């Protein structure tokens, strides 16, 4: 449809709607009895009380008619959320079995109801569906203000099945939210005692930690409707539309109390005002202002709780956090070992797991995974098991699932030339050997030259514990290990490739933070020069000395970073030169076998010849990888550490 015909459709639809609305308003004066959707369905399907049905987005209205077609009762309910037209059609298809009912979508004339019902209901359904579909289509294309709020963006869900038991490993958060649930269940009880309940709850945490899940669980536990909208939905709009949407959303919520309004990614609209680079932000500000106005407009203890989620609390407008607005803040963090185990168990509930799977082990090596990543890992494992024609999900699939979540799927089919292969093998062997030699690096679980994601190969190390605090030594070792790939290329290929760019990025990142944030450089002292946040447009723009320090300090920072990296480079070169034969053997095994695991790495580090290792692998072929976790429990730091001769610089630093 081109723009012009779209406009014409719009004009026609608008004229028709205006006419219909006029008639509708004059006709419907009796107040509706608000019922739950379950009750509504039972009136409709079981009790046969409804002869005329009006669907307006998710506002459902039903009429009981007497023999003469006069209205004797009116019921209203909030309908189920429909994600697609197909769902919608499938749902209203049920009405075919109820010939006594006429179905009207969008503001239709009640008088026409009798005409409708004389037609075959199926024809009626088809006609109104087509009209509905047209409206949806033009609304999607044109983004018209008045239509899109209920048709497109805000979703309402009734009878959510999510419960607190579906959210694993977050007991404190659940406790804090239990109060909100209580309130939603019986707002009057709290009002009678004059208790002030927060009107806004802000969930703060990294992506995938279950913020949305939590909000849904609150609605599910309390059995109230869940209105959700994403902050980013407001932003793409024309001026004035965002604010209107907010108003519509709150109006709709007020009609359906008690309920929850959930604003996801609130940072998209809730950014500090006045941070814009001149113009272009008015729309966002208007939307934000409207949210503030609406939240202030609540009568005390109205049965509405506004929940919002963000992972960037620091950029929110302070006005949002004031009392009466989002004055309750709940931090949702990445799960710890125990939390991960529980999350895995929750998501394994409906999956057949092999009896030898130990979630403790899986939880242990998935430090840093979010709830969403853990759910994803189980899903990947299930897919792998299904593809392999297995009946249950075993350790092998879980292990591969972890890799897939961490690094993207393997790309076995990518064509790799022999010389590329050799180069990658040395690069990865460089990383792996250094990871084993440096005392503070995490144990190596897998080294591979099979491309994954954007990397040509990978060396997988996983922490043994959930240590969140990283020490100076650990960081230094990490930098050294990350340079291993590049150093190996320098030593062996005597040329350097572009393969190390991600490594170098990582290295300078750590070094910069050591100097500017963690006070780990004597020269610059215990001063935080940078904040943790990436600079976002507007907030710090135009502020000449960005972090608030001088040109000289900036130069000193740069030279300190360079010193850290070049010292690590010297150390890595020394270590790899001293252990050249290990690296040679490892890369030969890699070229031959592509992927090696803990055991092989350990053999090689103890000085095993590549032939010996390849023979070992061939002997074990097939049985070797049934439980990749089994070999991981052996601490892998026992070998060759003493070969590491401390360099002068290290003595000075430590």
Q: Which residues are catalytically annotated?
A: 428
Query: Rounded to the nearest whole angstrom, what is the least distance from the CB of residue 78 to Mg ion in the complex?
Result: 22
Q: Does 503 bind Zn ion (CB under 5 A)?
A: yes
From Mg ion, Zn ion, ligand ADP, none, interface partner of 168 (C-beta below 5 to 8 A by class): ligand ADP
**Alpha-carbon radius of gyration of the chain:** 31
526 CB-contact burial (10 Å; exposed 0-12 / middle 13-18 / buried 19+): exposed
Could you give the string, one character per residue 156-185, with x where binding to ligand ADP holds by CB under 6 A and - elsewhere? -----------xxxx---------------
From the list ligand ADP, Mg ion, Zn ion, none, pick the one residue 209 interacts with, judged by a Cβ distance below 5 to 8 Å according to partner type.
ligand ADP
Residues 199-218 that bind Mg ion (CB under 5 A): 212
Shortest distance, position 503 Cβ to Zn ion, whole Å:
4
Can the peptide bond before residue 206 be classed as cis, meaning omega within 30 degrees of 0? no
CA–CA dist 488, 579 (Å, integer)? 11
Q: Which is nearer to ligand ADP, 246 or 334 (CB)?
A: 334
Q: Tell me which stretch binds Zn ion (CB under 5 A): 32-40, 239-247, 402-410, 499-507.
A: 499-507
- Cα separation of 488 and 573, whole Å? 8
Q: At closest approach, how far in Å is the CB of 608 from Zn ion?
A: 24
**Encoded tokens for 153:** 């963006």
Q: Can you tell me which of 106, 485, 529, 583 binds Zn ion, judged by CB under 5 A?
A: 485
128 versus 260: smaller Cβ distance to ligand ADP: 260
CA distance 55 to 51: 13
Write down the H helix ranges in 46-186: 85-92, 112-118, 121-142, 145-148, 171-185
Q: Which member of 135, 213, 385, 434 binds ligand ADP (CB under 6 A)?
A: 213
Of all residues in the shown chain, the one whose CB is closest to ligand ADP is: 371
Cα–Cα distance, 611 to 488 (Å, whole number): 21
Of 590, 588, 589, 585, the closest CA to residue 608 belongs to: 585
Asked if 309 is part of the footprint of ligand ADP (rule: CB under 6 A), the reply reads yes
Question: Quick one: which segment of 238-246, 497-505, 555-563, 585-593 binds Zn ion (CB under 5 A)?
Answer: 497-505
Q: CA-CA distance, 520 to 560, in Å (whole number)?
A: 10
198 binds, among ligand ADP, Zn ion, Mg ion, none (CB under 5 to 8 A by kind): none
Pull the structure tokens for residue 202: 């802000």
The position carrying tokens 């209105």 is 227
Q: Which of residues 350-389 bind ligand ADP (CB under 6 A)?
A: 371-372, 375
| 342 versus 424: smaller Cβ distance to ligand ADP | 342
Plot region of 577 (φ>0 → left; ψ -120 to 50 → alpha; else → beta)? alpha
Q: Considering only residues 494 through 533, tell me which ones interact with ligand ADP, judged by CB under 6 A.
A: none
CB of 86 to Mg ion, least distance (A): 25
- Tell whether residue 457 is a contact of Zn ion (CB under 5 A): no
Is residue 343 within the footprint of ligand ADP (CB under 6 A)?
yes
Close Cβ partners of 232 (under 8 Å, ≥ 6 residues apart)? 265, 268
Q: Shortest CA distance to 249 belongs to which of 209, 197, 206, 308?
A: 308
Nearer to ligand ADP, 62 or 169 (CB): 169
Residue 44, Cβ density class (10 Å: 0-12 exposed, 13-18 middle, ≥19 buried): buried
| Residue (343 or 476) nearer to ligand ADP, CB | 343
Nearer to ligand ADP, 270 or 499 (CB): 270
- Per the rule left: phi > 0, alpha: psi between -120 and 50, beta: everything else, 337 is alpha
Nearer Cβ to ligand ADP (203/476)? 203
Contact footprint for Zn ion (CB under 5 A): 485, 503
Contact footprint for ligand ADP (CB under 6 A): 167-170, 205, 207-213, 309, 343, 346, 371-372, 375
Contact footprint for Mg ion (CB under 5 A): 212
């Amino acid at each position: 449809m081109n723009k012009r015909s779209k406009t014409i459709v719009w004009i026609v639809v608008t004229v028709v709607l205006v006419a219909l609305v006029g008639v509708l308003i004059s006709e419907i004066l009796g107040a509706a009895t608000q019922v739950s959707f379950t009750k509504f369905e039972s009136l409709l399907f079981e009790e046969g009380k409804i002869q005329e049905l009006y669907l307006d987005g998710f506002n459902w209205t039903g009429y009981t008619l007497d023999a003469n077609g006069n209205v004797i009762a009116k019921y209203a309910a909030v309908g189920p959320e429909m994600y697609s037209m197909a769902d919608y059609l499938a749902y209203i298809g049920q009405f075919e079995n109820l010939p006594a009912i006429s179905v009207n979508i969008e503001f239709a004339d009640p008088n026409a109801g009798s005409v409708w019902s004389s037609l075959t209901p199926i024809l009626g359904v088809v006609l109104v569906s087509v009209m509905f579909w047209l409206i949806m289509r033009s609304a999607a294309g044109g983004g018209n203000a008045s239509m899109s709020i209920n048709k497109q963006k805000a979703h309402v869900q009734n009878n959510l099945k999510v419960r607190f038991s579906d959210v694993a490993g977050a007991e404190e958060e659940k406790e804090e939210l239990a109060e909100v649930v209580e309130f939603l269940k019986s707002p009057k009880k709290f009002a009678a005692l004059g208790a002030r309940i927060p009107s806004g709850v802000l969930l703060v945490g990294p992506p995938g930690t279950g913020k949305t899940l939590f909000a849904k669980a609150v609605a599910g536990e309390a059995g109230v409707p869940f209105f959700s909208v994403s902050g980013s939905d407001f932003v793409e709009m024309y001026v004035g539309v965002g604010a209107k949407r907010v108003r519509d959303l709150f109006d709709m919520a007020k009609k359906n109390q008690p309920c929850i309004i959930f604003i996801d990614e609130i940072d998209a609209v809730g950014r500090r005002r006045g941070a814009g680079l001149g113009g272009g932000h008015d729309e966002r500000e208007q939307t934000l202002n409207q949210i503030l106005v609406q939240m202030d407009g609540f009568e005390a203890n109205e049965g509405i709780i506004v929940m919002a989620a963000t992972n960037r609390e620091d950029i929110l407008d302070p006005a949002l956090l004031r009392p009466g607005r989002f004055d309750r803040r709940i931090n949702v963090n990445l799960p710890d070992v125990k939390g991960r185990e529980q999350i895995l168990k929750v998501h394994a509930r409906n999956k057949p797991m092999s009896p030898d799977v130990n979630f403790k082990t899986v939880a242990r090596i998935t430090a840093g995974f979010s709830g969403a990543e853990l759910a994803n890992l189980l899903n990947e494992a299930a897919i792998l098991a299904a593809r392999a024609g297995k009946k249950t999900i075993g350790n092998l699939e879980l292990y591969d699932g972890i890799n897939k979540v961490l690094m993207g799927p393997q790309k076995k089919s990518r064509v790799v030339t022999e010389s590329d292969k050799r180069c990658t093998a040395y690069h990865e062997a460089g990383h792996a050997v250094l990871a084993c030699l440096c005392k503070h690096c995490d144990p190596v679980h897998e080294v591979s030259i099979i491309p994954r994601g954007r990397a040509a190969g990978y060396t997988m190390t996983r922490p043994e514990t959930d240590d969140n605090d990283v020490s100076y030594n650990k960081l230094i070792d990490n930098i050294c290990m990350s340079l291993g790939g590049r150093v190996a290329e320098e030593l062996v290929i005597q040329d350097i490739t572009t393969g190390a760019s991600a490594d170098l990025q990582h290295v300078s990142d750590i070094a910069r933070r050591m100097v500017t944030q963690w006070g780990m450089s004597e020269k610059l002292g215990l001063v935080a020069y940078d904040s943790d946040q990436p600079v976002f447009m507007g907030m710090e723009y135009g502020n000449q000395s960005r972090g608030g320090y001088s040109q000289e300090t900036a130069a000193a920072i740069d030279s300190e970073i360079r010193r850290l990296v070049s010292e690590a480079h010297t150390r890595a070169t020394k270590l790899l030169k001293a252990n050249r034969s290990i690296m040679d053997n490892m890369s030969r095994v890699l070229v031959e076998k592509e992927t090696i695991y803990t055991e092989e790495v350990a053999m090689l580090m103890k000085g095993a010849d590549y032939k010996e290792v390849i023979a070992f692998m061939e002997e074990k072929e097939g049985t070797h990888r049934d439980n990749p976790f089994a070999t991981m429990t052996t601490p892998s730091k026992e070998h060759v550490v003493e070969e590491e001769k401390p360099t002068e610089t290290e003595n000075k630093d430590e």
